[in-house]
Amino acid sequence: KYTIKPPRDLCSRFEQEQEVKKQQEIRAQEKKRLREEEERLMEAEKAKPDALHGLRVHSWVLVLSGKREVPENFFIDPFTGHSYSTQDEHFLGIESLWNHKNYWINMQDCWNCCKVPREGELGGCGRHSAGDRNRGKQWQPDLGESGTPGHEGFEPSP
């Protein structure tokens, strides 16, 4: 009854509500501006077609399934160490294949990305494509069993 009471808050609630609305409008406008800027940048990036699409060569390491409890085939990017599925869009074609015994070169015209089938055990490379040798010799061996160039026997190792 005889205690000191705190001073009254003499601020208008209406003015406080108006200030909150104003701050919300400013935040909404900023978000809209950022979204439009991001969309504009995405449009600018999409608009530029890559003149060298499918013409660059990059190495990938194929890890085969079956051994060491590997459930499915996948590629490893040797530069980053990231793994990718054999069905990934990063893989446009195959220039060459090699193992500890031989090296095979893809003889297809790859000016518009090699159209390698995506089915088969190696995701469209190697074993499935080995059957295509009767159709224009698309895969040519470069080294034989003895390591000499031009070996004619085409028997990829399993």
For 115: left if phi > 0, alpha if psi spans -120 to 50, otherwise beta; the answer is beta
Q: Could you give the CA distance from residue 127 to residue 122 in angstroms, rounded to a whole number?
A: 7
Closest by CA to 27, choosing from 11, 19, 15, 39, is 19
Six token digits for residue 109: 């015209």
Per residue in 141-155, pLDDT tens?
665 555 545 444 444
pLDDT at res. 123:
37
Q: Which 8-state DSSP code applies to residue 100?
A: S
pLDDT at res. 135:
40
Q: In whole angstroms, what separates CA 56 from the centre of its chain?
A: 14
Check: CB of residue 95 under 8 Å from CB of residue 55: no
pLDDT at res. 130:
38
pLDDT at res. 142:
61
Confidence of residue 120 (pLDDT cuts 50, 70, 90): very low
Sheet containing strand 61-63, strands side by side: 61-63, 74-76, 83-85
Of residues 10 and 50, which shows the higher confidence score?
Answer: 10
Confidence of residue 58 (pLDDT cuts 50, 70, 90): confident
Confidence of residue 28 (pLDDT cuts 50, 70, 90): very high
Confidence check: pLDDT of 14 > 80:
yes
Write the burial class of residue 156 (CB in 10 Å: 0-12 exposed, 13-18 middle, 19+ buried): middle
Six token digits for residue 29: 């406008």
Q: What is the mean pLDDT of residues 27-36?
A: 98
